[in-house]
Amino acid sequence: MSDMHRLHTNDLELGATDAVQRHISRTVVPPAQVSQRKLDFEHSRPRWLRECMAEATGVFFYVFPGIASVASFTINLASPEGVTAFGSLFQIGWAFAIGIAFAIITCAPTSGGHFNPAITICFAIWQGFPWKKVPHYIISQIFGAFVAGLLMMGMYWPEIQAYSAALTAKGVPLVSNGGPASILCTIPGATQTNLGYLFMTEFFVDSFIGLVIWAALDPANPFVSATTAPFVIGLAYANMVWGFAGISISTNLARDLGTRMVAAIFYGPTVFSIDNYSWISILVNVPATIFATAYYEFLMRDSIQRIGAGHAVHEEGDEGLVRHFTNRGLMEGGTTNMLQGNGSGSDEYETGKREHGYLDTNGAK
């Protein structure tokens, strides 16, 4: 066969296409053995300290790249190269989104990955997260944002000083939308004086994010896996940044309060009093997220799917679940086998649900 005719229609020519071939197995050198001393040390670490530091670190991972991107965008507004050379709302959205994904990937295995006081409160309301841990988590989250703000100010200090001097020479207040204080925390624009409008904007943006988070974390949701959840949640934030950052949003109590305290250190307490806005950016996130998660819990949550997949149990055990199905006329034949760990009853379980209107013919509720 000639070289020109050695390939069939669907064959791939040699080149980068070699990457689709099965890689040659190679031996990985085993890591060092785990010493008893290391195990003893890890066991001695206070659980509360590990969780608190993980929450602080996660918020830092989320806030630091986000406000750094805001700083790059803001201080180059008058740059001769043009601001688009340094950033845009599109870039800022991605900075926050990827920061959130990295925060979840890095810190969630230790603390659960809340990174938002409103989410912590919602876990306590709906999922049984201990209320005694709530204050520790919230303080840690605010601390993480505070450290992120301090570090960003230190790294951008010469540029921010030059930018502040230029604004002062023009008579522009430093605590204003577009001023250096607005790099750290949300400050509404000159035309955004209607607090009711600002409240509703923040409320619906935060509700949108909260609903996506709760859906992404639902183990019964077939469209989100553990590996994609961090990026889905991050994109929810980015989505709202792209759409509404131009009209002032905060999205996270810890993110705003922690960095607003840093802004107060450098630019005075005016950052808390300007336009009577700060209470909206700090507090509205909590009721908005509670509303969003309540909406999901009351209208979209399918606890039967969670129990069936082994992600939850009935509070009265299998007997309580049997009683639930019996009272609704769903217990037929060998359906109880499924509840006793015998997979043979699962088909009858689904059939019973379908016959009584719990499932449509495609298996969807």
pLDDT tens by residue, 203-223: 999 999 999 999 999 988 889
CA gap 58, 283 in Å, rounded = 20
Is there a contact between 135 and 99 (Cβ–Cβ < 8 Å)?
A: no
Cα separations in angstroms, 231 against 194, 216, 235, 336: 34, 10, 6, 39
Cα separations in angstroms, 161 against 141, 167, 187, 262: 28, 10, 19, 15
pLDDT given for residue 343 in this prediction: 42
Least confident of 7-16, 239-248, 295-304: 7-16
pLDDT given for residue 77 in this prediction: 73
Is there a contact between 96 and 252 (Cβ–Cβ < 8 Å)?
A: no
Choice between 94 and 29, residue whose per-residue pLDDT is larger: 94
**CA 309: distance to chain centroid?**
24
Q: Which amino acid is at 153?
A: M
Residue 6 pLDDT > 70 = no
CA gap 188, 182 in Å, rounded = 9
Among the listed residues 101, 103, 102, the one whose alpha carbon sits nearest the alpha carbon of residue 56: 103
At 160, the pLDDT band (50, 70, 90 cuts) reads very high
At 359, the pLDDT band (50, 70, 90 cuts) reads very low
Give Cβ neighbours of residue 286 (< 8 Å, ≥ 6 apart).
Answer: 117, 118, 121, 253
pLDDT tens digits, 250-284: 999 999 999 999 999 999 999 999 999 999 999 99
pLDDT given for residue 201 in this prediction: 96
CA gap 325, 305 in Å, rounded = 13
- The pLDDT of 29-56, averaged and rounded, is 93
Residue 100 pLDDT > 70 = yes
3 state SS for the chain = CCHHHCCCCCCCCCCHHHHHCCCCCCCCCCCCCCCHHHHHHHHHCCHHHHHHHHHHHHHHHHHHHHHHHHHHHHCCCCCCCCHHHCCCHHHHHHHHHHHHHHHHHHHHHHHCCCCCHHHHHHHHHHCCCCHHHHHHHHHHHHHHHHHHHHHHHHHCHHHHHHHHHHHHHCCCCCCCCCCCHHHHCCCCCCCCCCHHHHHHHHHHHHHHHHHHHHHHCCCCCCCCCCCCHHHHHHHHHHHHHHHHHHHCCCCCHHHHHHHHHHHHHHHCCHHHHHHHCHHHHHHCHHHHHHHHHHHHHHHCCCHHHHHHCCCCCCCCHHHHHHHHHHHCCCCCCCCHHHHCCCHHHHHHHHHHHHHCCCCCCCCCC
Give Cβ neighbours of residue 222 (< 8 Å, ≥ 6 apart).
Answer: none
CA gap 49, 140 in Å, rounded = 10
Residue 175 pLDDT > 90 = yes
Average pLDDT, whole number, for the chain? 86
CA gap 269, 310 in Å, rounded = 51
pLDDT tens digits, 299-356: 998 888 777 777 778 877 778 777 777 777 665 444 444 444 444 344 444 544 454 4
pLDDT tens digits, 49-97: 999 999 999 999 999 999 999 999 888 876 655 555 667 889 999 999 9
Choice between 359 and 220, residue whose per-residue pLDDT is larger: 220
- State the pTM of this model: 0.82
Least confident of 42-56, 234-248, 267-281, 351-365: 351-365
Residue 361 pLDDT > 50 = no
Residue 37 phi/psi, 5-degree rounding, is: -60, -40
